[in-house]
Amino acid sequence: MFISFEGIDGSGKSTQLTMLREWFESRGSGVTVIREPGATLLSESIREILLSTKQSITPTAELLLFSAARTQLVEKVIEPALESGSIILCDRYVDSTTAYQGYGRGLDLTAVQAINSIATRGVMPGLTFFIDVRYEQAQQRMQFSEGGGEPDRMERAGREFFNRVRDGYLAISQQDVKRFVVIDGYRDRASIHFDIISEVERRLHTVSS
Ligand code: ADP
Ligand code: TYD
């Protein structure tokens, strides 16, 4: 089972991923946890370049760098984990590229789609939780977040950018209603977690029946 979490920065994805990981572990299931970009040496190095505020990066270079990090991750970590039967929880995956580089940066969506299918090698999550909050709420959460620190290069993109990213997520969720579950992210952590495990249990039963 391959599950991804999506949403704008500060929406609460990592919090929910950790809660779901603990839920799986308490049931004795093996879980592989991945963050994007990251999880391999190369992908972590690319992450540093992408998030650093030291240099500017053009939208197309940004698209290709995120995609290079992803394809390394797919071959080195995701495919082997899927083969070993592990549950994979991914903090962001290819929908981030469609939302951020496609809708946010305004790159041609057909071109983004083509690069995405090369980068993923066709490996897609069966289930994606989109934790939906607006920019203002996410900003407020990040301000109070431990280790929040200075905003990275992506976080500096501003309100208009993040509004486009959110609209992008809403659009792509509607295009694939079987895979996407849109979660109202304004509620407390426990209520959101409850909805997430209900959906996961439902899918587990569907798979085993
Ligand atoms: P993301 O991974 O989407 O950037 P985080 O999970 O790191 O977001 O959450 C950002 C901040 O918001 C953290 O301080 C976290 O504790 C807090 N947070 C997460 N979920 C909620 C929630 N449902 N309500 C209030 N605060 C939350
Ligand atoms: P990160 O600190 O992991 O963000 P968060 O904790 O909010 O998930 O930083 C990753 C940043 O990179 C985030 O701003 C989203 C962005 N991003 C893209 O623009 N495109 C992508 O394909 C991916 C995976 C991430």
Q: Is 203 in the pocket of ligand 1 (CB under 6 A)?
A: no
Q: Is 38 in the pocket of ligand 1 (CB under 6 A)?
A: no
Record the pTM.
Answer: 0.97
Ligand 2: nearest atom to the Cα of 36: 24
**pLDDT string in tens for the chain (209-residue length):** 999 999 999 999 999 999 999 999 999 999 999 999 999 999 999 999 999 999 999 999 999 999 999 999 999 999 999 999 999 999 999 999 999 999 999 999 999 999 999 999 999 999 999 999 999 999 999 887 766 688 999 999 999 999 999 999 999 999 999 999 999 999 999 999 999 999 999 999 886 66
Q: What is the pLDDT of residue 190?
A: 98
- 172 near 93, Cβ under 8 Å? no
- 33 near 89, Cβ under 8 Å? yes
Nearest CA to ligand 1 atom 13: 145
Number of H helices, E strands in the chain: 9, 5
Q: Is 13 in the pocket of ligand 1 (CB under 6 A)?
A: yes
Strand locations in 40-171 (E): 87-91, 127-132
* Ligand 2 pocket by Cβ (under 6 Å): 9, 13-14, 35-37, 51, 66, 91-92, 96-97, 100-101, 154-155
Cα separation, 132 vs 170, whole angstroms:
8
Q: What is the pLDDT of residue 170?
A: 98
Q: Is 193 in the pocket of ligand 1 (CB under 6 A)?
A: no
Q: Is 145 in the pocket of ligand 1 (CB under 6 A)?
A: yes
Beta-carbon contacts of residue 21 (< 8 Å; ≥ 6 apart): 31, 33, 89
Distances in Å between the alpha carbon of 64 and those of 46, 114, 209? 10, 11, 41
Q: Is 144 in the pocket of ligand 1 (CB under 6 A)?
A: yes
Look up the CATH number of domain 2-208. Answer: 3.40.50.300
Cα separation, 87 vs 1, whole angstroms:
5
SS3 32: strand
